[in-house]
Amino acid sequence: MTDSSPSDADDASPPEPLVSLPKSLRHELKDPIGPVETDPHSLLEVAGEPLVTVGDVVTYHVLEAGRTPDVAIVDGITKREAVDAVIRETVTAGETVDVENPQGALTDALIRALVAAIDDPDPVTILVDGEEDLATLPAIVAAPEGASVVYGQPDKGMVHAVVTDERRAAIRSLLTRFDGDPEALFSILDR
């Protein structure tokens, strides 16, 4: 039996990010990384393997179109508001892995969960307590050539980023300019 006082639980602090997005780079993330699709069926006709979705609404539309993403990363939020109960229940119906990840950052826990989920032959949903938006970037770095990473572009549709060596190199270059420890990030992603 372990002796723990009530104050031990109060001392829990949020995880330290490996890297965080500096304000000076925010403008570089405004443009979509691939073509924007509005029809999930059309997107799925050309989607590669594995299929990684980032965002609750995107994941929901892919599921409703009849495809379970190999990896789904969701946080229960869209446009800074909680998603409705139907979307929340639909996107978290399968196996989920819970991680904490603060806004504008990438934590060790999220990156390790992402890599494990990509390597898992079964579909995995990563449920983020915090924000999942930046997970698109390490997903592109970690996913194999030809994989599809799909994320939402608010009020536009779904961005379909096909993983290529050129795209992976561009994202790696961007991540090296993040604050924090990009080398630690890459040591996990380059398994």
**Residue 12: what pLDDT?**
59
Beta bridge partner(s), residue 99: 128
Q: Does 75 carry a binding-site annotation?
A: yes
Entry field: residues in the chain:
191
Is 56 one of the annotated binding-site residues? yes
pTM: 0.90
Nearest CA to 138 out of 72, 103, 186, 90 is that of: 186
Element (H, E) at 100: strand 96-101
The reply, when asked if residue 132 is annotated as ligand binding, is yes
Q: Can you state the angle between helices 182-189 and 165-176, rounded to 10 degrees?
A: 150
Residue in 143, 161, 118 with CA at minimum distance from that of residue 29: 161
What is the rounded CA–CA span in Å between residue 5 and residue 102? 27
Task: Give tens-digit pLDDT for 101-125.
Answer: 999 999 999 999 999 999 999 999 9
Distance between CA 177 and CA 19 in Å, rounded?
9
pLDDT 10s digit of each residue in the chain, 191 long? Answer: 444 444 444 455 667 899 999 999 999 998 999 999 999 999 999 999 999 999 999 999 999 999 999 999 998 877 777 788 888 889 988 889 999 999 999 999 999 999 999 999 999 999 999 999 999 999 999 999 999 999 999 889 999 999 999 999 999 999 999 999 999 999 999 97
58 is in an annotated binding site: yes
pLDDT at 16: 86
Q: What is the pLDDT of residue 13?
A: 66
Instruction: Please give the pLDDT value at position 123.
Output: 96
